[in-house]
Structure 1
Amino acid sequence: MMHFPLPGRVVSRTLAIAPLIAALSLIATACSPTGGKAPAADLVLHNGRVYTLTWPEPSRDGVPAAGAPFDSAAGWHHDATAVAVRDGRIVYVGTDSGALALRDSATQVIDLARHVLLPGLVDAHTHVAELGESLERINLTGIATEAEAVARIAERAATTPKGEWILGYGWDEGAWANRYPDKRLLSQRVPDHPVVLRSLHGFASWANERALALAGITRDTPAPAGGEIRKDATGEPTGLVLNRAVPLLDNAVPRPSPAQRDAQVMRALHVMARAGYTGVHEAGVAPDVMESFERLAERDSLPLRVYAMLSARDSALIRRWITRGPYTSGNGMLTVRAVKAYYDGALGSRGAQLLEDYADRHGHRGVSGGNYGFDQRLVADIMSAGFQVGIHAIGDAGNRATLNFIDSVMQAAPKARALRHRVEHAQVVSAADIARFAALGVVASVQPPHAVEDKGWAETRVGPTRIQGAYAWRTLRQAGAALVFSSDLPGSDWSPFYGLHSAITRQDTSGAPPGGWYPAQRMSAEEAVRGYTTWSAFAGFDEGEAGVLAVGKRADFTVMTVDPFRDTPASLLRGDIALTVSRGRISYRR
């Protein structure tokens, strides 16, 4: 990548600000009670292009604020070149000379080689426990046909002892919705191993005959509320289950031991550190995963910060935490103050609840509420106990009912108003409900990759009118709603470059469609970066500690080889992570 000198007047503005920052930070840190020299920094990062994000937010239309390091003629420029860290906190932000003045023989000094340093990126909706499991499973992402998927499973079976489970994930329940697979070919090619293959977003699962038998799924098995066990013309299960029936297969798979679960979680978190993240919001944490997070936090082994959202599908877990109350570990690396609930299903599998029939299935409007495992009393109780709730809502009816529910709880328990409740996905929203997000103080927790991954079939599901309120990030922003961005991994690629590219362009990685899919909903480069930094800090009550680069903040940094503010969106896809720092500790270095 080429580097161009900045215009003179822009450089002078940067250099005029930097000494002031340096002076103020040195005044704050350089004087000891005895008048001696300040303690040296533990870590100095210099010779970088540092964007602090300490300037005011852009307008709702994405226009940079007056105080931003932006020039209408020359564009963006970085507002610092170096940072210094001591005891996990930022003690200096400014020029190279100012930061290097804080070093001594014990200081670790890293030359950033003009790479871009941002506040630590946070993925605000993840399933890292599933990612850890998936890293051990057969990846079917991008597989186009049932025959191709079965061939890949049969290949694994040839080297797996008979009787052992074979697990896979990633076939696309949205793209395959009109041609769902069944057990016949899978059972024929792999008869001696129980096989369970979860779909890309987890709203469908596909099994062979042996797995169905071990799960106890027969022609007489009733489908759980909000779920479907697909059956053939004779009444026999086909091997495919949807929505709330997926746990029937999941629960048959042997659970990992505590040591195995810890290893899975750690492996996944290191993958996230390699991707440049300094934190995750883990959505829907089950009891054994929660125990793993607590063990790892107690050992100070977590390589990045975990904001755990407890699973509201486990009432015993929720009741225990209502008694216990919100919690942050002593080292600050684990916080438990949120809950994940599900109101409806997914759009791809036609489980999202719509106000009117699906455009491609007359008489069908999805599943939701109590029929989808949403326990209103339980969720209301934990909101009243001081926990933030993030409710999965995809369809326009699901989003409306979720907003109604949050409103009703806040009216009954006013202290719940300040908890920054979230709608996870907010994927299809009626025009009449857009403004309610801001009015209720509800965060729209959205996933830019979903728009570019779903564009091939989403309009077929909802039609040309409702699609105007689907994946409508700009419309939500213009209405005053707070947003936060994430990947929803492992269902989508968790690369921040992919996420930034999706948010800025609304194009897939091949550049389609030209101009972007419903381009009026695109985000500016600054908004895209804030979606993973300042906005994620706000969504996780962490703005006092992170999200911007300033003296006193936690030393969480992401260093990348491309500049999302200045480089073309297409070049982001060629970016790489050079360094990830969490709490002043290097968690990944290229």
Structure 2
Amino acid sequence: MEKKWTSAVSVLVITAMFLGLSGVDGKAAAERADLVIKNGKIVTLDPAINLTEALAVKGNRIKAVGTTQEMEALIGPSTKVIDLKGRPVIPGFIEGHGHLPALGRVQMMLDLTMARNWDDIVAMIAEAAQRVEPGAWIQGWGWHQEKWDKPPRSVIDGLPTHHDLSGISPHNPVRLTHASGHASFVNGKALELAGIGPDTPDPPGGEIVRDPNGQPIGMLRESAQDFVRDAFERYQAQRSAEDIRAEQTKQVQLAMKKAVSHGITTFHDCGVSLDTIDLYKKLADEGLLQVRLYVMIKPDKTPFENLAAYRLVDYGNGFLTVRSIKLFMDGALGAHGAWLLEPYTDKPESTGLPTASIDGMTRAAAFGIEHGFQINTHAIGDRANREVLDLYEKVFRAHPGQRGLRWRIEHAQHLHPDDIPRFAALGVIASMQAVHATSDGPWVIKRIGEQRAREGAYAWRKLWDSKAVVSNGTDAPVEDIDPIANFHAAVTRRLPDGSSFFPEQRLTREEALKSYTVNNAYAAFEEHIKGTLTPGKLADMVVLSEDILTVPEDRIAGARVLCTIIDGKIVYENDAAIRHGGS
């Protein structure tokens, strides 16, 4: 009883503070609300506030929470009202790791995610080749050889050769990006334009996969993709700058539209160019950023000293923050690019690929700590994660006066058991993606064996129990940008065949929701304005069709986003039953 009374008092005190009242009795509110949400279940995630049924918004901030009767006292002639009819409201989902331009770009490419096998992909390319002009590039995204129902006819290293694509598209270069984004498959015309032949050496941090005679088969891992990327950019250079910028703007707009339809109110954009940040600033200046962005700079070949001018916090009325640098230590497990301590079980001649030098990474980390940038490093394999933890620890020791840096490891997917406690000890955030566990689960043991998978693959529970901060995302477009599916994966670890992938690593429902809200806000230094539905914080929230914290487990995946509210404004609606308008 004492705890409940304390929480109730906290609600009244907080609400009174923002209303300028001694209590919330509905008699005389000093200011009317712009939006009132009533007759629902307000999941605040604020430990000081009990579950409530109504909420009021003034401007872009949460004004008060409480009972429907209390919030109705704040309704004026111009107040918009949403009657939830018992539905839940939660803090807006924060996409903790995604790729916004790519999310839009793949909507303008061939969708290979549902291809059952290589034959399906060849048929899609054959059809596309009939529609395009000679010389135009054909691009697709999302294939994954481990998800095909049968192997290709000609197999090298578990992969097809380019000859099928080259035969049906001899005059059009074809570039098909792996679902992970860490490999591409191309045809002979693309190899020709990229200057890749039998004598082309593997670049540092990359691999040109070859047949026994040394001929490239069309598969390019990690930095070897740069050859084809450069060839595509030469093709793009024939277009006007206006056309290119218009296409990039459309991609961002498509991505934002998809994000808000899934209840995403903030998007951690993991690795973009300075040119893309310039586009974001332009959109912010024009009031066209529909989703709040927390952006990580991908330096590529940009001198570090040029990055300092791009650091921004709460630009564009709080819609654009750029205060992180994205680094890469290795590739992806699906493409055999993750850097491992021991060889792959299904490729014993390989331990994967480091994609950067330790010296270069150390220089980048030192720049970050000296210029107020958070460092967020992609690391999937256990060797890559250990190297990054070692590097962070070294930099931290060299700067003992720096505290609260909140540096992150993006993915933290496969860990040696000895390294799991180091996240909490060093204050390093494990920026993970729950849905990767269930998407990759059917083939992970094939890659690294059962013991390594059990000890450290997608070790959510172990990291959480070690007191590490675990944040959550989808890695969109690598996976669908669907927080509900991701939440379901975190709490069930359910595979497509109905089994659970090491279920001892599941999170509770409240933990899983916090990983997508509270922890993602913390991972971006934004917990003071986001992550909970607390009076004074930004009015970013989502109305769901089901209470994912309490419904039977088999109904979680069917929950839908009915309404997305950002900055106090309704930016997405998907239910005629939710009415809003004047009181």
Give the TM-score taking structure 2 as reference length. Answer: 0.90
The residue number in structure 1 matching 2:579 is none
Aligned residue for 1:47?
39
Residue of structure 1 in register with 2:302 after alignment: 315
- Could you tell me whether the CA contact under 8 Å between 2:98 and 2:267 is conserved in 1? yes
Name the % identity: 36
Offset at residue 437 of structure 1 (A): 0.4
For the pair 1:91 / 2:63, whether they are aligned, the reply is: yes
Match of 2:282 in 1: 295
Instruction: Tell me the CA shift for residue 292 of structure 1.
Output: 1.5
Within 2, Cα distance between the matches of 1:133 and 1:500?
25
What's the counterpart of residue 560 of structure 2?
Answer: 576
Pairs within 5 Å for 1:112-511: 112-172=84-144, 174-175=146-147, 178-254=157-233, 255=236, 257-316=244-303, 318-323=304-309, 325-368=311-354, 370=356, 375-467=361-453, 468-508=455-495, 510=496
Match of 1:566 among 550, 553, 556: 550
Kindly indicate whether the alpha-carbon contact (under 8 Å) linking 1:225 and 1:371 is maintained by their aligned counterparts in 2: no
Is 2:11 the counterpart of 1:21? yes
Tell me how far apart the structure 1 counterparts of residues 478 and 21 of structure 2 sit (CA, whole Å): 51
2: distance between equivalents of 1:163 and 1:465? 49
**Do the aligned partners of residues 267 and 374 (structure 1) sit closer, same or farther apart at CA in structure 2, a change above 3 Å counting?**
farther
Q: Where do 5+ consecutive residues of structure 1 fail to align?
A: 1-8, 57-67, 70-78
Measure how far apart 1:27 and its partner are. Answer: 4.8
Tell me, what secondary structure is at the counterpart of 2:134?
coil
390-399 or 307-316: which moved more?
A: 307-316
Structure 1 window deviating more from structure 2 (462-471 vs 429-438): it is 462-471
Distance 1:375 1:172, change over 3 A: same
| Displacement after TM superposition at 1:230 (Å) | 1.9
For 2:508, the equivalent position in structure 1 comes to 524
Deviations 1:408-464 (A, max 9, x none): 111112354421001111111111111110010000011111111111121122222
What is the DSSP-based 3-state SS (H/G/I as helix, E as strand, rest coil) of the residue aligned with 1:135? helix
The secondary structure found in structure 2 opposite 1:544 is coil
* C-alpha separation in 2, matches of 1:14 and 1:260: 54
**TM-superposition CA deviations, 1:474-527 (whole Å, max 9, x none):** 01111111100100010112211100110000003x4621xx211110010001
Aligned residue type for 2:58: R
Cα distance change on mapping 1:411 and 1:478 into 2, 3 Å:
same
- In 2, are the aligned partners of 1:396 and 1:429 still within 8 Å (CA)? yes
CA distance in structure 2 between the aligned counterparts of 1:28 and 1:286, rounded to whole angstroms: 41
Return the alpha-carbon distance in structure 1 between the equivalents of residues 16 and 313 of structure 2.
34
SS at 1:251 equivalent:
helix
2:510 corresponds to 1:534: no
- Alignment RMSD: 2.4
Counterpart residue identity of residue 512, structure 1: G
Q: How far did 1:156 drift? A: 2.0
Query: 2:360 & 2:182 partners in 1: Cα distance?
Result: 16
2:577 alignment partner in structure 1: none
CA contact (8 A) 2:331 2:353 kept: yes
Q: For 2:486, what is the secondary structure of its paired residue?
A: helix
User: Does 1:110 pair with 2:82?
Assistant: yes
Gaps of 5+ in 2: 149-155, 237-242, 575-583
Task: Tell which deviates more after alignment, 195-204 or 37-46.
Answer: 37-46
1:326–1:16 Cα change, 3 Å: closer
Report which stretch shifted further, 433-442 or 304-313: 304-313
**AA matched with 2:288:** S
Stretch deviating more after TM superposition (372-381 or 234-243): 372-381
What do the CA deviations read for 1:160-204 (whole angstroms, capped 9, x no partner)?
Answer: 233221110000155579521221001111223221110101111
Distance 1:322 1:401, change over 3 A: same
Whether the 8 Å CA contact 1:353–1:366 is kept in 2: the answer is: yes
Cα distance, 1:314 vs structure 2: 3.7
Partner secondary structure for residue 487 of structure 2: helix
* TM score, norm. by length of structure 1: 0.89
The one-letter amino acid paired with 2:262 is: A
Distance in 1 between residues matched to 2:347 and 2:263, nearest whole Å: 42
Q: Is the 8 A contact 2:206 2:355 kept in 1?
A: no
The 10-residue stretch of structure 1 (318-327 or 165-174) with the greater mean CA deviation from structure 2: 318-327
The one-letter amino acid of 1:21's match is V
CA distance in 1, matches of 2:524, 2:169: 45
